[in-house]
């Protein structure tokens, strides 16, 4: 079974950990995952906008790629015939794979889950899944880690009765999936992460947490904590009591949180894993991440233009803005990504204005590079007991970010 060991508990909040001995259903290399970490976000098995060669050049990767059921459910028969699993199917056979039920970057339509199934949405439409059909899909996918089937359709304002049903159904799914996984052949087994539901009701969140923690799961997913499910202040009120009920020796994932300050607040509360969907979200708006995580880092990543309105930007700059049309400096002067080493803000502005596909390629290469470097900096901050300083620095930029 997968092992998770905590290497350091920071007095300032957060913890360093190592994931190891992850069940390998294919011939991947042995990987140790240092946490806090983010899983590489994909759509259809590919990092949006980037080629596989570009992805391989990105630094500080966790080694785990996030795949979603919704991206592949309509190819189930093809996957059955292929027989070698999703990682090889999409050309990433050396990576560990995490199979998520829903896309971290977007909310599934509300109101389509019934008492025995959960709906996922593929390009061709709606598919209903129960625990049997879900595990049948997983056996074809051969994912290393699998998020258990769950009912996360508990948006803000949901009735207590609906939330209770979602918790009950998610626990039932988990029991059926664990039994199915236990009875599977060794080569088909996967590490199961139990999912904690409960909407914005603390009582139901705690019930879901305590019951899930009783099961032999490899880790925990705190689902439905995104913006469309609850207010920000509610999220942080719920998170602390939930974490207190979870065992220390198993990882916790919070998939729908990605903004830099939110990530730090979650880590401070004891979260270990995230989805790297945020760079894709920012890229889609024509923006580039420019936030720094320390005073020293701010000096090295500062803008060459030295204009006050640039220096006081928040987490990102909007390269659609015409003020960048004649700015021939890189996005960040000391960034080592392909975009910053070879291109300028003016060029990216031109690509955005003319709606060239290369705009997404360059922005995504920079944004993912910057985001992965941020997680490496977080690990170093916890290690060196400078996490509180980093948090203060990020909070200052958060105040300047136009959201």
Q: Is 366 annotated as a binding residue?
A: yes
Report the alpha-carbon distance of residue 121 to residue 114 in Å, rounded. Answer: 15
Q: Is 105 annotated as a binding residue?
A: no
* 62 Cβ neighbours under 8 A, 6+ residues apart: 33, 34, 37, 38, 39, 40, 375
Q: How far is CA 258 from CA 45, 46, 263, 327, in A?
A: 20, 19, 6, 29
* 30 Cβ neighbours under 8 A, 6+ residues apart: 20, 24
Token couple for 201: 């009701």
Give the count of alpha carbons within 13 A of 164, CB side only: 4
Report the alpha-carbon distance of residue 177 to residue 138 in Å, rounded. Answer: 10
Least Cα distance to 219 among 100, 47, 111, 109 occurs for 100
| Reduced 3-state DSSP string for 164-213 | HHHHHHHHHHHHHHHHHHHHCCHHHCCEEEEEECCCCCHHHHHHHHHHHH
φ, ψ dihedrals at 3, nearest 5°:
-110, 145
Token couple for 25: 């259903």
SS3 338: helix
* 78 Cβ neighbours under 8 A, 6+ residues apart: none
**Binding-site positions:** 335, 337, 340, 366
**Binding-site positions for Zn(2+):** 335, 337, 340, 366
């Amino acid at each position: 079974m997968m092992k998770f060991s905590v290497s350091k508990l920071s007095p300032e909040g957060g913890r360093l950990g190592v994931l190891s001995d992850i069940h390998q259903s294919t011939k991947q290399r042995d990987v140790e995952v240092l946490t806090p970490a983010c899983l590489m976000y994909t759509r259809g098995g590919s990092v949006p906008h980037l080629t596989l060669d570009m992805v391989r050049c990105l630094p500080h990767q966790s080694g785990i790629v996030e795949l979603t059921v919704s991206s592949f459910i309509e190819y189930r028969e093809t996957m059955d015939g292929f027989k070698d699993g999703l990682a090889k199917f999409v050309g990433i056979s050396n990576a560990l794979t995490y199979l998520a039920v829903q896309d971290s970057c977007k909310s599934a339509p509300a109101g389509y889950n019934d008492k025995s199934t959960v709906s996922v949405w593929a390009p061709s439409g709606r598919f209903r899944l129960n625990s049997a059909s879900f595990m049948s899909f997983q056996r074809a996918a051969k994912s290393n880690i699998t998020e258990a089937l769950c009912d996360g359709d508990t948006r803000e304002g949901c009735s207590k009765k609906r939330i209770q049903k979602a918790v009950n159904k998610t626990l039932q799914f988990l029991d059926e999936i664990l039994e199915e996984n236990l009875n599977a052949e060794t080569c088909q087994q996967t590490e199961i992460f139990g999912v904690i539901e409960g909407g914005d009701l603390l009582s139901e969140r705690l019930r879901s947490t305590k019951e899930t923690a009783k099961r032999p799961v490899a880790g925990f997913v705190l689902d439905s904590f995104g913006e469309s499910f609850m207010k920000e202040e509610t999220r942080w009120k719920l998170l602390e009591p939930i974490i207190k009920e979870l065992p220390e020796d198993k990882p916790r994932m919070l998939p729908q949180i990605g903004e830099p300050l939110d990530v730090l607040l979650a880590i401070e509360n004891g979260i270990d894993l995230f989805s790297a969907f945020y760079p894709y979200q920012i890229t889609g708006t024509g923006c580039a991440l420019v936030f720094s995580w320390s005073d020293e880092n701010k000096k090295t990543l500062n803008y060459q233009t030295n204009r006050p309105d640039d220096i006081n930007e928040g987490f990102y700059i909007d390269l659609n803005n015409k003020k960048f049309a004649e700015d021939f400096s890189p996005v960040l002067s000391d960034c080592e990504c392909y975009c910053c080493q070879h291109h300028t803000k003016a060029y990216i502005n031109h690509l955005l204005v003319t709606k060239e596909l290369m705009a997404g390629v360059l922005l995504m290469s920079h944004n993912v590079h910057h985001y992965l470097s941020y997680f490496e900096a977080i690990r170093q901050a916890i290690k060196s007991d400078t996490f509180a300083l980093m948090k203060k620095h990020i909070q200052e930029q958060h105040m300047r970010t136009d959201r």
